Chain A
């Protein structure tokens, strides 16, 4: 798998990740990410057929908690840390234009 990540790819990824990029940034990151992906080609040598993926280092199941109320946070303490708050709510600029 010799994939060259292109500037178009990087621009798409930057958009998905909500990171503004200048043209120069895009060029620089494209070069760096391409180098990294080239290095990662070493895993292509491995035969991974029949290998189960490992997501969990320690195999636990059924970890749950009872449906019991726990103390909540102090709203004032939380809103004091908000960049913008109004009427006890977090204020954000217009949501229009968000593509989901």
Chain B
């Protein structure tokens, strides 16, 4: 939705996104960074925060974090690590190693498909916590008797990406997350799946009258999909507007989005400012990426999705923001589409076919690009109807064949020449004078019965467009 949620009020949103990096091992130790295995198997003294354990930084995590920074147009700076001290059972050391006033990536931006530029304040490295499941009650924290902690996830490398509060609509928020995800996947930094927790989004939401200073914001947590993000922001904005219009103040707090009741609920109040007692991590040394390293990372970066969409759109003469272009680029199939068009394929048809039929085909579909090209040409030339072409394509996908002609022949999809179709049309007219009468009188719908007769008579081999054209010709000739 791009209109104001409540007229007269401006929405202000900043997003904090935590992304699990796709490394083989954890940020500060060599235990595997893997999802879904048995509890507490990816453990070592560092992961468990055992006495005497010491952290050592994962080089590949730094490389991936630098890619994220470059993809978000950040400055990469010499940086340090700090301890963020607090007690929680899934925090094995009772402090988290993170970055505080000297983060790796600073002052970047992300451009949305609609052209809006959202500032990225920072993107820094930090370690993930373990996971708790609650026993007793209904599995939720409230009413539980206790919790069980699994440290497999503890120590997994995270990049925390903090946007500036530049987002003004729900659609922008969703676009930001989708674009960010596409970027992260394109640079192999993360698989960025909200549903699996490898990308977690917290929203800072406030409202204000246009022109006034920023209002008090609330942090919304527990949003598990882009759709939920939209719903949560919308609910929270309305909640805040209702309070303000009733003359109440907004309490600065963290709120928990509840998917089932569609509301945010108080989680904890930030009155007692958390005293994390940040200090420089004495067990680590500063990280100073040199010019050569940064350049190496920069030159190895792939073309980002936005640029790929722009290229594909321009080449095909279609809007870069269209769903088809988005989908095809997201799947990494844009090169394939370009190759197919290069081989003579009909641009729009190639694009549509790839969007609709190639969901599982991956970036290197089994169907050779020139095979698809020939199929689209056959269709344009009338040798195949749209229905027939779709069917041939399905077979091509199954078999990886590059030969639509042979497949069409084997299915009996001979191109019917126009004179044969004309005969069938005339027979249909003769066979259903009532429908013909109505059609000549201007009832377009009546053509359906006539077309149906033609199809039946030709066993579906007549090209529907040609049939319709002939009917129109006959009608016009009738006067």
Contact = CB atoms under 8 A, between A and B. Distances in A.
Nearest to A18: B87
B286 A64 contact: no
A94 interface: yes
Nearest to A96: B141
Interface in B275-309: 275, 277, 280, 282, 284-289
A79 interface: yes
B30 A95 contact: no
A62 B149 contact: no
A72 B148 contact: no
A67 B58 contact: yes
A66 B88 contact: no
B45 A94 contact: no
Nearest to A92: B89
Interface of A is mostly: loop
Given A18-B87, A89-B149, A92-B146, A69 B25 contact: yes
A56 interface: yes
Contact of B41 (A60, A66, A75, A100): A75
Contact of B58 (A65, A79, A91): A65
B274 interface: yes
B38 interface: yes
A65 B30 CA distance: 9
Contacts of A66: 59-60
B135 to A, nearest CB: 8
Interface string B117-148: 00000000000000011110000011011111
A71 B25 CA distance: 11
Contacts of A95: 88-89, 132, 134, 141, 144, 147
A3 B191 CA distance: 52
Q: Which 8 A-B pairs have the closest CB atoms?
A: A70-B30, A67-B60, A89-B148, A64-B59, A60-B285, A90-B149, A88-B39, A55-B280
5 contacts: A62-B288, A72-B41, A78-B48, A89-B39, A92-B89
